[in-house]
């Protein structure tokens, strides 16, 4: 029996087969990586040398079983795939592996009746590209593994880099998984794995082809399995019961409740230490709600107190199925039962009528012979409301001063001044129709906008916005540049159809709103519709008026040139011409572009 025939090996393997470097005279080939085993120990090989040795196996060699499983085979799992195997009675076994590029079965073809826009983007790999095979024999008694070429199989028809492009080895995947557990950014994981794999593990070739998409998929799989306990049960009732059991095990006081007239539910939970803090520091309590914390869209409310160190801490929590005053009030009443000596003097809340009403219901104050509880709205939310509702800058500034006023007299005085100065922010609006075009539109503008249009409208920008409503009416806006160099709104108009007559009619109505608006320049996109409508609304010298020049946006013009002119030299000259400040230089560059422009015949 040949010393390399392992089909019917016996248990005294160590007496029949010796390491390859014990027989240097049998292999007189020139010195190669494989032949280095004749003089050097296997343990001295680098990671890339091990992969090369397992890629094209020239001669049989042995490796300790544990070392092979931990340090050798994970390096080439992307190269070889199991083909056949056999397990012997004595525990020994052998397996044959083929190259992944073999792919015995061809991929199925696409169905012909599926539209191209509905087809998945897939990549079909060609079959039977490589026929390399190896055989790995495992000897349990000797704890050895023998690796050899299977019979007379050929070498690979490709290099090892092609295998790395096709699939990542187990060694690389393990590195990625270790980093992905830390929940870093995908690109940070890619860079860390490449750096560590190259410098510390000598996995230069293996990590070279690592893509961020593969790392993202691995990270998703890891964190998806880690976060499954957060998903909960499929049914709401079961999920609530599981949650309450969990909270009780963690030492929480929990109470589930329902409001029958509202058909809403909720549950309150708090730890004894939190209730102690609520009792001690609850004279000032902050209430806040958090949305999107669960798949059922139940709102999470939290009660905060400010402890002796001036830090905000949690006093209690409750979930409600719907954010209405009765459901929130019931949760506050249950919290009072949990902590009977909790008597808040002030409640800090967002500018929410629901929260304010629920607090009044749960803490009625003098009506029930209790301490009065005052609701204080958050200054930030109140300021946001004023800024969004009050457009007049003077009125807004006075109201902000009033909110920060410490005396009641000063506060009321500033509020009254604000009311007196506050003007009704009305719009001038006019609806119109163009009968010959069967189109409609309406123009609207505020008096202050029209004042700006009159003052700064010598340069006006017109711009249209699509997809602003379900009727697909176009919204046009006229912008002016104020004294600070900032673009501001002069007027708006909607049109049912974007044609020159309908837009021109809107501009004529805007002129009626602001009779002294006489634009010298109009800045527009490269739109013939807008240009024609401006000429119609502002005829200039034909009607004895100031001439109005339409200036097209440089960006849009450049985009058109780039899309229409394919010759790079001609295109660059035209771009230079657009930025030329003198008419002579501009005309000269345009003429050169025309002369250089070649006619492209298909």
Highest mean pLDDT among 77-81, 387-391, 577-581: 77-81
Q: How far apart are CA 300 and CA 290, in angstroms?
A: 5
For residue 493, give every residue at least 6 positions away whose Cβ sits within 8 Å of its Cβ, in sequence order, or none: 441, 442, 443, 444, 475, 476, 506, 509, 510
β-bridge mates for residue 523, sequence order:
461, 551
Please tell me what DSSP assigns to residue 543. G
Q: How far apart are CA 15 and CA 387, in angstroms?
A: 92
Sheet with 252-259, edge to edge strand ranges: 252-259, 264-271, 312-320, 299-306, 284-290, 346-349, 374-377
Q: Hey, is 131 helix, strand or coil? A: coil
Lowest average pLDDT, out of 180-194, 219-233, 545-559, goes to: 219-233
Structure token digits, residue 173: 């995947």
Question: Percent of the chain beyond pLDDT 70?
Answer: 78
> Any idea which architecture 39-105+126-166 has in CATH?
Single Sheet (2.20)
Q: Per-residue pLDDT averaged across 110-125, rounded? A: 69
pLDDT-derived band of residue 41, with 50, 70 and 90 as boundaries?
Answer: low
pLDDT-derived band of residue 277, with 50, 70 and 90 as boundaries?
Answer: very high
| Helices marked H in 295-433 | 325-338, 353-362, 379-389, 393-403, 408-421
Residue 180 has a pLDDT of 84
Please answer whether residues 38 and 21 qualify as being in contact, where contact means their C-beta atoms are separated by less than 8 angstroms: yes
Structure token digits, residue 492: 């708006």
pLDDT-derived band of residue 26, with 50, 70 and 90 as boundaries?
Answer: very low
pLDDT-derived band of residue 231, with 50, 70 and 90 as boundaries?
Answer: low
Structure token digits, residue 40: 């050097």
Q: Per-residue pLDDT averaged across 271-290, rounded? A: 93
Instruction: Quick: pLDDT tens for 335-379.
Output: 999 999 999 999 999 878 889 899 999 999 888 888 889 888 887
Backbone angles phi and psi of 112, in degrees to 5: -80, -25
152 vs 591 pLDDT, higher one: 152
Class of residue 362 by CB neighbours under 10 A (exposed 0-12, middle 13-18, buried 19+)? buried
Please answer whether residues 370 and 376 qualify as being in contact, where contact means their C-beta atoms are separated by less than 8 angstroms: no
Q: How far apart are CA 393 and CA 381, in angstroms?
A: 18
Whether the pLDDT of residue 526 is over 50: the answer is yes
Average pLDDT, the chain: 81
Q: Which one, of 274, 282, 281, lies nearest residue 252 by Cα? A: 274
CA pseudo-torsion sign 54, 59, 65, 66: negative
Residue 352 has a pLDDT of 82
CA pseudo-torsion sign 116, 121, 127, 129: positive
pLDDT-derived band of residue 110, with 50, 70 and 90 as boundaries?
Answer: low
Residue 425 has a pLDDT of 54
Q: Per-residue pLDDT averaged across 110-137, rounded? A: 78
Please answer whether residues 386 and 351 qualify as being in contact, where contact means their C-beta atoms are separated by less than 8 angstroms: no
Residue 218 has a pLDDT of 85
Class of residue 237 by CB neighbours under 10 A (exposed 0-12, middle 13-18, buried 19+)? exposed
Instruction: Quick: pLDDT tens for 542-572.
Output: 888 888 999 888 777 767 766 666 666 777 7
Backbone angles phi and psi of 129, in degrees to 5: -95, -25
User: What is the rounded end-to-end Cα distance, in angstroms, of the chain?
Assistant: 74
CA 357 to chain centre: 38
Q: Do domains 236-382 and 426-557 have the same CATH topology?
A: yes
For residue 455, give every residue at least 6 positions away whose Cβ sits within 8 Å of its Cβ, in sequence order, or none: 480
Q: At what angle do helices 212-226 and 186-199 cross, to 10 degrees?
A: 110
- For the entire predicted model, the pTM comes to 0.39
Whether the pLDDT of residue 269 is over 50: the answer is yes
pLDDT-derived band of residue 319, with 50, 70 and 90 as boundaries?
Answer: very high
Over its C-alpha atoms, the chain yields an Rg (Å, rounded) of 40
Structure token digits, residue 204: 């230069």
Please answer whether residues 528 and 536 qualify as being in contact, where contact means their C-beta atoms are separated by less than 8 angstroms: no
Cα separation values, 379 from 347, 471, 487, Å? 13, 40, 30
Residue 162 has a pLDDT of 87
Residue 209 has a pLDDT of 81
| All structural domains of the chain with their residue ranges | 39-105+126-166, 172-227, 236-382, 426-557, 565-599
DSSP string computed for 196-212:
HHHHTS--HHHHHT--H
Highest mean pLDDT among 138-147, 169-178, 232-241, 425-434: 138-147
Q: Per-residue pLDDT averaged across 51-68, rounded? A: 90
Q: Which one, of 332, 358, 337, lies nearest residue 253 by Cα? A: 337
CATH of 236-382, one of 2.160.20, 3.30.420, 2.60.40, 3.40.720: 3.30.420
Residue 195 has a pLDDT of 87
Q: Enumerate long-range contacts of 296-301, CB under 8 Å, 24 or more apart.
A: 296/236, 296/239, 296/321, 298/266, 299/323, 301/328, 301/331
The CATH code of domain 426-557 reads: 3.30.420
Residue 306 has a pLDDT of 92
Whether the pLDDT of residue 229 is over 80: the answer is no
Please answer whether residues 78 and 100 qualify as being in contact, where contact means their C-beta atoms are separated by less than 8 angstroms: yes
Whether the pLDDT of residue 330 is over 90: the answer is yes
Whether the pLDDT of residue 235 is over 60: the answer is yes
β-bridge mates for residue 86, sequence order:
94
Cα separation values, 366 from 177, 533, 584, Å? 62, 69, 87
Residue 111 has a pLDDT of 67
For residue 359, give every residue at least 6 positions away whose Cβ sits within 8 Å of its Cβ, in sequence order, or none: 287, 329, 332, 347, 349, 373, 375
Please answer whether residues 42 and 56 qualify as being in contact, where contact means their C-beta atoms are separated by less than 8 angstroms: no
Please answer whether residues 315 and 344 qualify as being in contact, where contact means their C-beta atoms are separated by less than 8 angstroms: no
Q: Per-residue pLDDT averaged across 129-135, rounded? A: 91
Please tell me what DSSP assigns to residue 72. I
What number of CA atoms fall less than 13 Å from residue 322's CA on the CB side? 12
pLDDT-derived band of residue 389, with 50, 70 and 90 as boundaries?
Answer: low
Whether the pLDDT of residue 16 is over 80: the answer is no
80 vs 105 pLDDT, higher one: 80
Q: How far apart are CA 320 and CA 289, in angstroms?
A: 10
303 vs 401 pLDDT, higher one: 303
Whether the pLDDT of residue 202 is over 80: the answer is no
Q: Per-residue pLDDT averaged across 451-480, rounded? A: 88
Instruction: Quick: pLDDT tens for 402-445.
Output: 767 777 677 667 767 766 665 445 678 888 888 777 888 899 98
Q: How far apart are CA 602 and CA 599, in angstroms?
A: 10
Q: Per-residue pLDDT averaged across 478-485, rounded? A: 88
Q: Per-residue pLDDT averaged across 45-64, rounded? A: 88
Q: Tokens 């699939």 appear where?
A: 167
Whether the pLDDT of residue 13 is over 70: the answer is no
């Amino acid at each position: 029996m040949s010393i390399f025939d392992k089909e019917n090996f016996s248990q005294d393997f160590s007496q029949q087969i010796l390491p390859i470097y014990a027989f240097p005279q049998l292999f007189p080939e020139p010195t190669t990586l494989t032949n280095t085993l004749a003089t050097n120990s296997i343990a001295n090989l680098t990671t890339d040398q091990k992969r090369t040795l397992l890629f094209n196996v020239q001669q049989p060699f042995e490796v300790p079983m544990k070392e092979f499983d931990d340090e050798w085979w994970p390096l080439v799992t992307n190269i070889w795939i199991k083909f056949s195997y056999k397990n012997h009675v004595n525990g020994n076994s052998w397996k044959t592996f083929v190259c992944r590029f073999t792919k015995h079965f061809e991929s199925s073809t696409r169905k012909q009746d599926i539209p191209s826009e509905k087809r998945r983007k897939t990549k079909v790999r060609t079959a039977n590209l490589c026929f390399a095979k190896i055989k790995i024999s495992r000897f349990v008694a000797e704890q050895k593994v023998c690796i050899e070429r299977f019979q007379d199989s050929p070498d690979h028809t490709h290099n090892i880099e092609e295998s790395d492009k096709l699939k990542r080895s187990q060694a690389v995947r393990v590195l990625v998984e270790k980093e992905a557990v830390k929940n870093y950014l995908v690109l940070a994981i890619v860079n860390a794995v490449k750096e560590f794999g190259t410098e510390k593990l000598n996995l230069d070739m293996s990590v070279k082809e690592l893509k961020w998409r593969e790392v993202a998929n691995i990270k998703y799989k890891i964190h998806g399995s880690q976060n499954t306990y957060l998903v909960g049960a499929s049914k709401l009732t079961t999920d609530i019961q599981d949650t309450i059991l969990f909270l009780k095990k963690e030492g929480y006081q929990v109470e589930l409740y329902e409001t029958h007239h509202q058909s809403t539910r909720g549950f309150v939970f708090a730890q004894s230490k939190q209730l102690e803090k609520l009792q001690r520091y609850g004279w000032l309590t902050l209430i806040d709600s958090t949305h999107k914390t669960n798949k059922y869209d139940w709102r999470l409310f939290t009660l905060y107190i400010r402890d002796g160190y001036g830090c905000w801490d949690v006093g209690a929590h409750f979930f409600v199925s719907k954010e209405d005053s009765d459901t929130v009030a019931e949760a506050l009443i249950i919290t009072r039962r949990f902590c009977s000596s909790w008597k808040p003097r002030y409640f800090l809340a967002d500018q929410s009528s629901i929260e304010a009403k629920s607090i009044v219901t749960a803490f009625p104050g003098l009506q029930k012979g209790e301490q009065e509880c005052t609701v204080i709205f958050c200054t930030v939310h109140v300021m946001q409301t004023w800024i969004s509702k009050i457009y007049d800058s003077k009125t807004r500034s006075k109201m902000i001063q009033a909110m920060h006023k410490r005396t009641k007299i000063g506060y009321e005085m500033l509020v009254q001044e604000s009311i007196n100065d506050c003007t009704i922010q009305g719009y001038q609006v006019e609806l119109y129709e163009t009968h010959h075009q069967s189109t409609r539109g309406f123009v609207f503008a505020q008096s202050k906008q029209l004042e700006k249009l009159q003052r700064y409208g010598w340069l006006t920008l017109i711009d249209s916005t699509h997809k602003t409503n379900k009727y697909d009416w176009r919204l046009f806006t006229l912008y002016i540049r104020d004294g600070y160099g900032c673009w501001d709104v002069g007027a708006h108009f909607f049109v049912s159809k974007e044609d020159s007559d309908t837009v021109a009619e809107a501009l004529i109505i805007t002129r009626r709103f602001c009779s002294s608006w006489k634009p010298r320049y109009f800045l527009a996109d490269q739109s013939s519709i807008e240009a024609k409508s401006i000429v119609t609304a502002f005829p200039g010298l034909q009607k004895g008026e100031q001439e109005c020049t339409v200036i097209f946006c440089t960006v849009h013009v450049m985009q058109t040139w780039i899309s229409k002119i394919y010759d790079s030299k001609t295109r660059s000259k035209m771009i230079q011409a657009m930025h030329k400040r003198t008419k002579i230089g501009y005309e000269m560059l345009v003429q050169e572009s025309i002369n250089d422009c070649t006619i492209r015949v298909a």
